[in-house]
Chains A and B, each alone.
Chain A
Amino acid sequence: MGLTFKDETFRGDFTFFNSPAAIRRFPFPFPEDSYMYSVNMEPHVPGRPGSVFEKTFDVDEHYVAEMRERARVLAEDPLRCQSLPHMTLAGWDLLELIMQAKAREYPDWFSLHRDGDRWHWINRPLEIEQRFTFLDETTLPCGPMEYITRQTQGDFSLQDQRNDNLWMDAGMVTTQADWSLDFDIGMNFFEWHAPVPLAHEKQIFTRALKFLMNVQHGVPARRFNWTMTIDPLLDTSPENYPKWGPSRATLTPENVGRRMHLRVELQTFFRLPRSNALAFPIRCYLIRFEELATQPKWARRLHRVIRDLPDELAAYKGFLRNKPIMVDYLAQFDDGTPTSPGWWAED
């Protein structure tokens, strides 16, 4: 495969950027010129070749650097990865799902050989080779969920399904949009969503939960969420808010194009077979405004979306104070011409 993994940082000197190819395949999340919360779910089926939907778990040019960043975050704060005792089986389910998908879809990089419950896993980009016994924790260096999510981009939470609800009882969360796994672990669907404005009143979570409880094995689903982040900082955790919060006061009309990033989460939902748990991978993609502005349709649309976004949402997403600077910057790309429906830049 003609992809080289970039050596880049998501902290300090922030050397992260997107190659032109990565910009073209960026998952722009707005199919129309305005945005409001909705139950925006669709089947997670393979999408256009080259797009982030092509594979079950997208591996891109940032893979190796993101995994290095995850290891750093975990070294600083091990509470970012937790699994309540009854979730170990779900962790094995997730490990199997990811290993099988990656070995099947990226055979040049990953391989999995199974001889009964004796498994042999090779991850070439990260130079990992592991022989272990499936369902035997003692044969892995750490729990199964932690093991595989240290090798997979995006955050993960695992939901136990019981008593007509989903319970977030395990997770690996180091690239989150300002929420704490350590605080939320053990909560149910309505509780961990409690801080979200407007959506409860619109019955969005009641309907979304019904949908999720019926997600079947073999029929995964997906949706988008998005927010804004200053600098390509993956770890916008509440834990570290005193460290990254001050950056919000440093945005200027001069630096907004370079420093402001649209942060898109491609969220997928998989029913896990052995545990009946629901896996929730949250894959984070960052793109700086300057990069996004190279795609005229996206720049026009983003201007309209941000300009017209209700203040409650901008406040919840943490960019209300910088909204005027962002809208002014984006306005230069919006000549008022209509945009075509759908999120593809070229359509």
Chain B
Amino acid sequence: MSGGGARIAVRVAEVTEVNALIRRIRFVRPDGGPMPAFSGGAHTVVEMDDHGTRRRNPYSLMGDPADTTGYSIAVRRDDAGRGGSLFLHRHVVPGMDMVISHPVNLFALDLRAKKHLMIAGGIGITPFLAQIAQLAALGGRFELHYATRNPALCAYGDELAARYGGRVHLYHDDAGQMIDLPALLAGQPLGTHLYVCGPKGMIRWVRSSAESAGWPRAAVHHEEFLAPPPGKVFDVTLAASGKTITVGTHQSLLEAIEAAGVDAPYLCRGGACGQCETDVLGCDGTIRHNDHWLTEAQKASGQKIMPCVSRFEGRSLVLDR
């Protein structure tokens, strides 16, 4: 089975500037056929040919999951990032042909919940847009608390408030508005599930507040994609394919493996799904584990690495790939 599994050839149908930082891209099939349905919270991996560098970045699907005419993603421009978002901002135009993966969901709703309490920060709103559309269609009970810097950056805030009224609560940092998390968590009926997507700090705040308020772990869900962090250049030997490759500063180990023509599995490319787990055959140096997947014990053992986000510093690294 090849790398990330099934792919879909798509054409860019629309590009919309949502605000100063965010642009929405809509994909359809070139032949106008239906896209697969998906579940709220799913993401797709968008493949880009960025002037010779192959990039594959995950983006949450933000449309109504029942709408199979096309997929929409929202991309926040990251000027300091590795270039995927800049490519999508600068070079993608309507009519362009691209390849994306079938949807994968690592942030699914727990459909048993008696109520869904959602907390979004900034671009973290995107998976909730799809989940809310799904819940609205199924008659599910939800409540959204959405924080952004200011009204201008509050993408889709007005639309959500207009459509769902009192179930949507907006907060603007610049106006000093803060989610009163302790009060919010204290008043929820038994059977509520809590979802959070946003900046790292917000996820940490919500999870730890829920824990100290006595919420069970299994009722708290979060989505956090790690962008592969840059780092020092290093060399890796791929034992199974008999190649030695160099991983550049702004390249992930997985990207370097792929660039060498070696097929490697992946799903999320963000250290969350476990699919890219690779055996380490030899290691003289330090693995920089950046994933959420391996246990602390596995990380300490040095026998596994998640090439989508993790790096290496030292003399030599040999992988079973």
Contacts and interface: CB of A to CB of B under 8 A. Distances in A.
Answer whether A and B touch in the complex at a CB cut-off of 8 Å.
yes
B37 A273 contact: yes
A276 B105 contact: yes
A161 B6 contact: no
Kindly state the interface size class of chain B when it binds its partner: 20 to 34
B232 to A, nearest CB: 31
Contact of B104 (A85, A160, A216): A216
Nearest to B108: A276
Contacts of B102: 216-219
B111 interface: yes
B103 interface: yes
Contacts of B105: 276
Nearest to A162: B110
B85 interface: no
Interface in A150-194: 160-163
Contacts of A163: 218
B28 to A, nearest CB: 17
A67 B60 CA distance: 41
Nearest to A92: B37
B112 interface: yes
Contacts of A342: none
Contacts of B38: 217, 273-274
Contacts of B63: none
A43 B110 CA distance: 28
B6 A86 contact: no
A275 B134 CA distance: 10
B275 interface: yes
A84 B110 CA distance: 13
A219 B108 contact: no
Given A89-B138, A273-B103, A274-B65, A218 B111 contact: no
A210 interface: yes
Interface string A90-101: 000100000000
Nearest to A218: B6
Nearest to B111: A86
B203 to A, nearest CB: 18
Given A214-B275, A218-B5, A273-B39, A86 B112 contact: yes
B37 A89 contact: no
B274 interface: yes
A294 to B, nearest CB: 36
B108 A216 contact: no
A170 to B, nearest CB: 12
Nearest to B273: A214
Given A86-B112, A276-B108, A216 B39 contact: no
B20 interface: no
B267 A214 contact: yes
Given A85-B112, A93-B37, A214-B273, 14 more contacts: A162-B218, A216-B6, A216-B101, A217-B36, A219-B5, A219-B102, A273-B36, A273-B37, A273-B38, A273-B103, A274-B37, A274-B38, A274-B65, A275-B111
Interface of B: 1, 5-6, 36-39, 41-42, 65-66, 101-105, 108, 110-112, 134, 137-138, 218, 267, 273-275
Interface of A: 43, 84-87, 89, 93, 135, 160-163, 210, 213-214, 216-219, 273-276
29 contacts: A84-B112, A86-B111, A87-B111, A89-B111, A93-B37, A160-B111, A161-B108, A162-B110, A162-B218, A210-B274, A214-B267, A214-B273, A214-B275, A216-B101, A216-B102, A216-B104, A217-B102, A217-B103, A217-B104, A218-B5, A218-B6, A218-B36, A219-B6, A273-B37, A273-B38, A274-B65, A274-B66, A276-B41, A276-B42
